[in-house]
Amino acid sequence: MSFIYQALSRQFRSSQSARVMTTALTVVAMLFGLNGCSSYTTPGAGVQLTQLADADINELMAKQPAAKFPARIAFTRVQASGYSAYGTGSYGNGAFSVVTSREMENEAEFMKLGQMEGVAGVAPLNRILLPAQLFSIKDLRLAAARLQTDMLLVYTFDTSFHVGSQHFAPLNAIALGFLENKEITVTTTASAALFDVRTEFLYGVAESTAQQSGMSSVWSEESEVDDLRKKAEQAAFKSLVPEMAKTWQRLVKQYQVKPPLAAAPQ
């Protein structure tokens, strides 16, 4: 009889614990709902641009510039494979992906590039020109060749988040509404590389970094967090353009063949 009593007592306590646990979970769920708690997923990673090209030393040293001046330049933004950010996706799978929407880039900045000395024009790579599988810079060069361009400008954004002393890597979730009153810093490094479409010769690289800060206490919606990211990426790209212009000036001076001066009349 004592054994039966003990068993019934354990069953009662077990069922009572289950009810307590269920009630606790319900309360937690209600708290999440009342506080409107949601999360923001940090954007995907950038791409190491120089790793897209051939890594063999002998082949790299054998590549030579073949672009003609004034040069036609195709441009595209690349990110890690499967890249996504709030409201922004990417195209292609493999070693990297391509972002064809240009929310972070001002068209006026591309116009500045098109007006530089020795540039005949600039044009974006459209996804209709790109293969679904992207493994190397050659896949992008083939698309640029279809546009009859001489050079290919490839750029990427590497964006990171810091909340206080905590760093959030790409594709990490940041819980909103339960963060303490801490400063959030979003840092974006924009990197660019200019390749020869015909030979894959690397003419030069450029880089720029920008930061934006805010307080976590005002973050209640994902869009508010993403506004900080957009400002950082827009600022990074805007400051990247003058760096690209400096790189372009150097390579024009080095590689552009100027016509010989006409002989003075006798």
Q: Which pLDDT score is estimated for 250?
A: 93
H/E stretch holding 3 reads helix 2-35
In tens, the pLDDT along 139-152 reads 999 999 999 999 99
> In whole angstroms, what separates CA 61 from the centre of its chain?
29
Structure token digits, residue 154:
């490839």
Alpha-carbon distance 113 to 242, whole Å?
A: 9
Give domain 39-255's CATH number out of 3.40.50.2300, 3.20.20.10, 3.40.50.300, 3.30.160.150: 3.30.160.150
Structure token digits, residue 102:
């240009």
In tens, the pLDDT along 224-262 reads 778 889 999 999 999 999 999 999 999 999 988 655 444
For CA atoms 139, 155, 85, 83, give the dihedral sign: positive
Give whichever of 6-20, 38-52, 165-179, 199-213 has the largest mean pLDDT.
199-213
Residue linked to tokens 């009630």: 23
In tens, the pLDDT along 149-204 reads 999 999 999 999 888 778 887 877 777 765 567 788 899 999 999 999 999 999 99
Alpha-carbon distance 113 to 155, whole Å?
A: 14
Q: Do the Cβ atoms of 233 and 104 come closer than 8 Å?
A: yes
For residue 39, the cross-strand partners are 175
Residue spans of the domains in the chain: they are 39-255
| Mean pLDDT, residues 88-100 taken together | 90
Alpha-carbon distance 7 to 9, whole Å?
A: 5
Q: What percent of the chain has pLDDT over 90?
A: 45
Q: Do the Cβ atoms of 238 and 212 come closer than 8 Å?
A: no
pTM: 0.78
**Residue 34 clears pLDDT 60, i.e. is over it:** no
Q: What percent of the chain has pLDDT over 70?
A: 76
Give whichever of 31-45, 47-61, 131-145 has the largest mean pLDDT.
131-145
For CA atoms 61, 67, 69, 75, give the dihedral sign: negative
